[in-house]
Amino acid sequence: MAVPGLVHETVARTWPVRRVTTGHCARVKPRAVAVQAAASRISVHVVAGWLVWTLIAVALAVGEMFTPGLFFLGPVALAALAAAVTAALGGGVGLALIVFIAGSVASLALIRPIARRHVRMPAISRTGTDALVGSKAVVIRRVDADGGRVRIGGEEWSARSFLEDQVLDEGARVEVVKIEGATALVVE
């Protein structure tokens, strides 16, 4: 099987070739070398493409872990993974780039809003002490920066005023600003 002359010339210039000497002249056997070089170039190109896209996907996924709450790099990492699959299946650089761009736009438009909704949980779906933040309470023993007691939803809690100079007398209606351990920080 003959390989086009252009490949012979390229290979002859860039790849070491085997020379057979007979008498005065050296003869080059470019066909075997050209076929071998072309095969190795194809496999290197395909492997390099999917490997680069996979490394990009991993880097973006790691970046997503270090930017909690934004959820921007995660969808782009999924698009890079789709581009890696495209490159591994033999798609060219252009096709992989198109898949990456289209995948990025689609995943940011579809997946990111869903993820953002789950990050911002409304007060109703919060649980534990987080559910108490923002709720109303009644002071049952004077509350200042040193301490006191409040009733939150039928339960008695130790409390401190959120503002250090604020003093809250018995019967005052207050709002829970924060929970620190078993102590409610309240403000009028």
Q: What CATH number is given to the structural domain containing 165? A: 2.40.50.140
Q: Tell me, what amino acid is at 171?
A: G
Phi, psi of 27 (to 5 degrees): -110, 135
Gap between the Cα atoms of 26 and 14, Å rounded: 18
**Structural tokens at position 169:** 């007398």
Residue-level pLDDT at 126: 62
Q: Looking at residue 13, what is its pLDDT?
A: 43
Residue type, 135: S
Question: What pLDDT, on the 0 to 100 scale, is given for residue 3?
Answer: 42
Which of these three, 90, 119, 148, is where a domain ends?
Answer: 119
Report the range of poorest mean pLDDT among 23-37, 95-109, 166-180: 23-37
Q: What pLDDT is recorded for position 33?
A: 52
User: What mean pLDDT comes out for the span 33-48?
Assistant: 53
As a whole number, the mean pLDDT across the chain is: 77
Name residues whose C-beta falls within 8 Å of residue 31's C-beta, 6 or more positions apart in sequence.
2, 3, 8
Instruction: Give residue 131's pLDDT.
Output: 73
Domains contained in the chain, number: 2
Give how far the C-alpha of residue 14 lies from the chain's centroid of Cα atoms, to the nearest Å: 41
Q: What DSSP designation does 135 have?
A: -
Q: Are residues 11 and 68 in the same domain?
A: yes
Q: Please list, in sequence order, all residues whose beta carbon lies within 8 angstroms of the beta carbon of residue 148, skipping any fewer than 6 positions away.
A: 139, 141, 142, 158, 159, 160, 161, 168
Residue 18 confidence class, pLDDT cut points 50, 70, 90: very low
Residue 84, pLDDT > 50, answer yes
- pLDDT on residue 100: 96
On whether both 115 and 78 belong to a single domain, the answer is yes
What is the β-pairing status of strands 25-28 and 136-141?
Answer: unpaired
Q: How far apart are CA 144 and CA 20, in angstroms?
A: 99
**pLDDT top residue among 152 and 68:** 152
What tens digit of pLDDT does each residue of 96-155 get? 999 999 999 999 999 888 877 776 655 556 666 777 788 889 999 999 888 899 998 888
E strand segments, 18-101 = 19-22, 25-28
Residues 137 and 176 in one domain: yes
